[in-house]
């Protein structure tokens, strides 16, 4: 293998929306000489940034899909994954983090640690990804990198250490002082690759010395030799300092902070040097897989090119030449023409075309080694699948997939749109595990579920653009249930005479509410054979048919106990059908007298967010007929648990975001059915009657 694995870096760039993440990727590509001209995100030239290759992204100026790009910096191959910064696309971020070894956390020097930075940090911690922070937009009015460093410590609990001091801020931002080499770095000219070293300006000398002392104090914790030199006031060699910073960063106990302005091409090269020096190579990280042949026992995957290959498919894209599958190789080497095994669907396939990706162009390669991120063409798989070579049966531990929290009904406008919509939904569900779709058996609508309103909006927009499928979206319908509130005794006789044998059945029974988990119970108390034994199951069947549709809203009836006490039959006219009909009609008549009520689904909602917004969170739940069950505070964050009716939860994600500056997130799952308040029950019945009249 020509690639030296110890020089390889797999990094992600993750941050809050609009903190300049894609712009930074664009500059990295430029400085690594992958692109010859720089395009801005919402550029006046109409080209859009290279990493935003989906049309919708260029238009909205937000990054949706994480494009994977390979660059080289000073002989180190670096795979960069640009991840979306919008909460609704968290699955993309989760997926990217699963395959990365390190990350650059981009922060805005004015906005500081924002809501999405908190979410991204939570995800980085979940996967134990070491990071370097880059305080961007230091040329903006109100820029304050020191405030951002303090927030990293207070809000995210990170041991953030400044590696640079700014030379001027806002419109006077000229460069930075490197605290390791104690040199001033200037980035002159617009497009120059050169970084100019100079002496530290006199007015900054004292500040730089103070900050260096703080930095040495923090870094010396990770190296005994360095600590001795610092204690004795000796000169510290650069190499020793780099070694200690790397040790701290890899142990996730230190976050070096760099600064600059990507838009103005300032500070990008030192950041790339930091990636090269302090970020882990694939051998520094211990990756584990589950051995399916050995009761899912954990196995450590060594970064060994001679072992059989193990790779994870972490992203799928439908390109013009078929499905493109991004994979990360954890062990072994994958060669063109080799045979691999998809562990999930138990199928073997041949590697036809192996490519290395630039944001939207690609180069063909003949083999890829351990630690590399490449793409395959024409492989039928889903995201999260594991590919193995040899006779291995390993599965990479599955990625954490959050459950969808919002659903919408979609209707195609005509037959052609219906086929296109089916195609689109099939592809989207394969591509994105948080996007789900099903047909509601009760309302017959196609329901799509996702992580938020924007998430679903983007998919509906993509259906229109990429598949030309015209769809109408409706408000999702809540699946209500009906039940009874009191016990009634009833009697029903079914008689029909139509020449020849007629129909006759008489049933006396009791209908009562049923407590507990069971939805339906049937009891037979008939004595003396007044209803022949063979017709008892017919009564049961009739009751169950009647329960499929209640008379209030037409939703299923639940929690009912039916008892047959007595009845009578006719030797000729009684039949299975006659008793089924008698049971069905008897149930309907008794149901009207048994105080029918409507039940609605109640969801268990858990909201997590900063404690300062706890009052707003309580308010937002109370406004939605919610009942707060518990709340607990953990440091700066608090968690509120509540039970809220599903019908009130539509639009909640947007309300919650606006009332907490986007810093809170919520999860929701079904808890139970409960009775609807009288006023709302009347409204629902009135609406159902109007729809019936309108012939819906």
When mean pLDDT is compared across 55-59, 195-199, 229-233, the lowest value belongs to: 55-59
pLDDT band, residue 116 (cuts 50/70/90): low
Q: Which residue has the higher pLDDT, 357 or 77?
A: 77
In angstroms, the CA 242 to CA 277 distance is 7
Q: What is the mean pLDDT of the chain?
A: 80
> Do 5-170+252-278 and 287-396 share a fold?
no
pLDDT tens digit sequence for 610-619: 888 888 889 9
In angstroms, the CA 664 to CA 643 distance is 17
Say whether pLDDT at 188 is over 70.
yes
Tell me, what's the pLDDT at 3? 62
pLDDT band, residue 85 (cuts 50/70/90): low
Question: How large is the average pLDDT for residues 3-22?
Answer: 74
Tell me, what's the pLDDT at 654? 80
In angstroms, the CA 150 to CA 148 distance is 5
Torsion 652-657-659-664 (CA) sign: positive
Distance from first CA to last CA of the chain, Å, rounded? 67
Extract the runs of DSSP E, i.e. beta strands, from 543-681.
560-568, 596-610, 627-634, 637-645, 665-675
Annotation: CATH topology of 287-396 = Elongation Factor Tu (Ef-tu); domain 3 (2.40.30)
CA nearest 334: which of 300, 307, 368? 368
Residue 150 structure tokens: 């303090």
Domain ranges of the chain: 5-170+252-278, 287-396, 406-474, 481-594, 598-680
When mean pLDDT is compared across 90-94, 487-491, 587-591, the lowest value belongs to: 90-94
Say whether pLDDT at 551 is over 70.
yes
Tell me, what's the pLDDT at 86? 53
Contact, 63 vs 83, CB < 8 A? yes
Contact, 490 vs 550, CB < 8 A? no
Percentage of the chain exceeding pLDDT 70: 85
Question: How large is the average pLDDT for residues 265-273?
Answer: 85
Residue 272 structure tokens: 């790339």
Q: Burial-class residue 284 by CB neighbours within 10 Å (0-12, 13-18, 19+).
A: middle
Tell me, what's the pLDDT at 90? 59
Q: Which residue has the higher pLDDT, 673 or 68?
A: 673
What's 548's DSSP letter?
Answer: T
Tell me, what's the pLDDT at 585? 92
Q: Which residue has the higher pLDDT, 507 or 396?
A: 507
Say whether pLDDT at 253 is over 80.
yes
In angstroms, the CA 562 to CA 587 distance is 9
pLDDT band, residue 65 (cuts 50/70/90): very low
Say whether pLDDT at 46 is over 60.
no
Does domain 406-474 fall under CATH 3.30.70.870? My reply is yes
Number of H helices, E strands in the chain: 16, 37
Residue 249 structure tokens: 């960063």
Q: How many CB atoms lie within 10 A of CB 676?
A: 20
Tell me, what's the pLDDT at 342? 86
In angstroms, the CA 389 to CA 331 distance is 10
Question: How large is the average pLDDT for residues 551-564?
Answer: 88
Residue 342 structure tokens: 């998809």
In angstroms, the CA 43 to CA 52 distance is 12
Question: How large is the average pLDDT for residues 572-590?
Answer: 89
DSSP, collapsed to helix, strand or coil, labels residue 289 as strand
In angstroms, the CA 331 to CA 302 distance is 6
Residue 638 structure tokens: 């608090």
Counting Cα atoms < 13 Å in the Cβ hemisphere of 407 gives: 21
Question: How large is the average pLDDT for residues 354-377?
Answer: 79
Q: Which helix (H) or strand (E) holds 168?
A: none
Tell me, what's the pLDDT at 664? 80
In angstroms, the CA 691 to CA 414 distance is 23
In angstroms, the CA 376 to CA 338 distance is 12
The CATH number assigned to the domain with range 5-170+252-278 reads: 3.40.50.300
Contacts of 533 (CB under 8 A, 6+ apart): none
String of DSSP letters for 403-467? PP-EEEEEEESSHHHHHHHHHHHHHHHHH-TT-EEEE-TTT--EEEEESSHHHHHHHHHHHHHHS
Tell me, what's the pLDDT at 562? 92
Say whether pLDDT at 421 is over 50.
yes
Say whether pLDDT at 66 is over 50.
no
Say whether pLDDT at 682 is over 70.
yes
Contact, 220 vs 117, CB < 8 A? no
pLDDT band, residue 19 (cuts 50/70/90): low
* Main-chain dihedrals φ then ψ at residue 167, nearest 5 degrees: -95, 95
DSSP, collapsed to helix, strand or coil, labels residue 110 as coil
Q: How big is the CA angle at 568 (ends 562 and 569), to the nearest 5 degrees?
A: 115
Architecture (CATH level 2) of domain 598-680:
2-Layer Sandwich (3.30)
Q: How many CB atoms lie within 10 A of CB 501?
A: 12
pLDDT band, residue 89 (cuts 50/70/90): low
Annotation: CATH topology of 481-594 = Ribosomal Protein S5; domain 2 (3.30.230)
When mean pLDDT is compared across 79-88, 467-476, 504-513, 645-654, the lowest value belongs to: 79-88
pLDDT band, residue 451 (cuts 50/70/90): low
Tell me, what's the pLDDT at 47? 46
Q: Which residue has the higher pLDDT, 384 or 259?
A: 259
Helices (H), ranges, 475-623: 536-547, 576-593, 614-622
Q: At what angle do helices 224-231 and 202-219 cross, to 10 degrees?
A: 130
pLDDT tens digit sequence for 270-324: 888 888 889 888 888 878 888 777 777 778 888 778 888 888 887 777 666 677 8
Tell me, what's the pLDDT at 499? 67
pLDDT band, residue 374 (cuts 50/70/90): confident
Q: Which residue has the higher pLDDT, 22 or 365?
A: 365
Tell me, what's the pLDDT at 507? 92
Contact, 507 vs 540, CB < 8 A? no
């Amino acid at each position: 293998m020509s690639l030296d694995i110890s020089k390889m870096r797999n990094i992600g760039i993750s941050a809050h929306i609009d903190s300049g993440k894609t712009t930074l990727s664009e500059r990295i590509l430029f400085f690594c000489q992958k692109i010859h001209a720089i395009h801005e995100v919402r550029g006046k030239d109409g080209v859009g940034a290279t990493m935003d290759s989906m049309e919708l992204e260029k238009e909205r100026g937000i990054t949706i899909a994480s494009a994977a790009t390979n660059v080289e910096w000073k002989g180190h191959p670096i795979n960069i994954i640009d991840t979306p910064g919008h909460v609704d696309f968290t699955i993309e971020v989760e997926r990217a983090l699963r395959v990365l070894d390190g990350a650059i956390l981009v922060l805005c020097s004015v906005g500081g640690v924002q809501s999405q930075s908190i979410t991204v940090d939570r995800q980085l911690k979940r996967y134990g990804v070491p990071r370097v922070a880059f305080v961007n937009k230091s040329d903006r009015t109100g820029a304050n990198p020191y405030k951002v460093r303090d927030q990293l410590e207070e809000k995210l609990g990170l041991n953030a250490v400044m590696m640079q001091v700014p030379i001027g801020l806002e419109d006077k931002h000229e460069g930075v002082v490197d605290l390791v080499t104690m040199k001033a770095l200037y980035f002159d000219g617009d497009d120059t690759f050169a970084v100019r070293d100079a002496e530290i300006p006199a007015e900054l000398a004292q500040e730089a010395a103070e900050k260096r002392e703080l930095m040495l104090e923090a870094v010396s914790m990770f190296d005994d030799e360095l600590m001795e030199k610092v204690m004795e006031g000796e000169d510290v060699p650069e190499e020793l300092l780099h070694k200690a910073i790397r040790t701290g960063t890899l142990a996730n106990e230190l976050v070096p902070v760099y600064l600059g302005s990507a838009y103005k091409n300032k500070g990008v090269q030192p950041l790339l040097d930091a990636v090269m020096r302090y970020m882990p190579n694939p051998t520094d990280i211990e990756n584990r897989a589950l051995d399916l042949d050995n009761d899912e026992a954990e196995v450590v995957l060594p970064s060994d090119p001679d072992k059989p290959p193990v790779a994870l498919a972490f992203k799928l894209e439908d390109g013009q030449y078929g499905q493109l599958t991004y994979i990360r190789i954890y062990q072994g080497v994958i060669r063109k023409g080799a045979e691999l095994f998809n562990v999930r669907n138990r199928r073997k396939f041949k590697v036809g075309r192996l490519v290395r990706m630039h944001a939207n162009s690609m180069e063909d390669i003949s083999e890829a080694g351990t630690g590399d991120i490449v793409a395959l063409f024409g492989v039928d798989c889903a995201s999260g699948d594991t590919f193995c070579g040899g006779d291995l049966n390993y599965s990479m531990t599955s990625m954490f997939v959050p459950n969808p929290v919002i659903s919408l009904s979609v209707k195609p406008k005509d037959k052609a749109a219906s086929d296109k919509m089916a195609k689109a939904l099939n592809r989207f569900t394969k591509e994105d595990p948080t996007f789900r779709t099903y047909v509601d058996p009760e309302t017959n609508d196609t329901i799509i579920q996702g992580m938020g309103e924007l998430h679903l909006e983007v998919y509906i927009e993509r259906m229109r653009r990429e598949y030309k499928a015209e769809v109408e979206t409706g408000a999702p319908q809540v699946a209500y249930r009906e039940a009874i509130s009191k016990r009634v005794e009833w009697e029903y006789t079914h008689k029909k005479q139509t020449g020849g044998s007629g129909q006759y059945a008489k049933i006396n029974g009791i209908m009562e509410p049923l407590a507990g988990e069971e939805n339906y119970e049937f009891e037979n108390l008939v004595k003396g054979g007044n209803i022949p034994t063979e017709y008892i199951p017919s009564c049961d069947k009739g009751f169950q048919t009647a329960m499929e549709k209640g008379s209030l809203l037409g939703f299923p009836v639940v929690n009912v106990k039916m008892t047959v006490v007595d009845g009578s039959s006719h030797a000729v006219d009684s039949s299975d059908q006659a008793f089924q009909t008698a049971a069905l009609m008897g149930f309907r008549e008794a149901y009207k007298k048994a105080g029918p009520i409507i039940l609605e689904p109640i969801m268990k909602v858990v909201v997590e967010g900063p404690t300062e917004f706890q009052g707003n969170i309580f308010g937002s739940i109370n406004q939605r007929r919610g009942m707060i069950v518990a709340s607990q505070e953990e440091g700066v964050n608090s968690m509120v648990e509540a039970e809220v009716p599903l019908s009130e939860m539509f639009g909640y994600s947007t309300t919650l975001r606006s009332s907490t500056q986007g810093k809170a997130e919520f999860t929701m799952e079904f808890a139970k059915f409960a009775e609807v308040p009288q006023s709302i029950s009347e409204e629902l019945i009135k609406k159902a009657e109007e729809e019936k009249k309108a012939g819906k």
